[in-house]
Amino acid sequence: MIFNIFTQTGTAEAPNALASLFIFLLPFLVMIAFLYFLFIRPQQKEEKERIKMINSLKKGDKVVTLGGIMGTVVRVDDNVITLRVGSGILIKFEKNAIKRKVGEAKIEKEGSKS
């Protein structure tokens, strides 16, 4: 079909061939756009909010890491956050290893109830 578009010499059938090609590709383009707005866009928005949360961390915030470790922020450096996870136990993490603040989950649950 595509080969026939390039080999035809008449100008009357060329627009019909291009139109049929467009009609053939239209469902795929619509599906790609649908999947973009269903999966990729919300994930980008969530990641942007997570980065904003990580940059707003300060001493005393209670957080959960990606590994599930809960702790209190003791110190914030450029790319490293120090957490107190027990009495006198300090662990250093990269900022990207922080999943969420502990207090934010309670606010989200209360907001979804009303």
pLDDT tens profile 66-109: 999 999 999 999 899 999 998 889 999 999 999 999 976 554 45
pTM for the predicted model, two decimal places:
0.62
Predicted confidence at residue 48, as pLDDT, reads 94
Architecture per CATH, domain 58-114, reads as Roll (2.30)
Nearest CA to 62 out of 98, 96, 88 is that of 98
pLDDT tens track for 17-49: 888 888 889 999 999 999 999 999 999 999 999
For tokens 């980065």, what's the residue? Answer: 51
Domain spans of the chain, in order of start: 1-56, 58-114
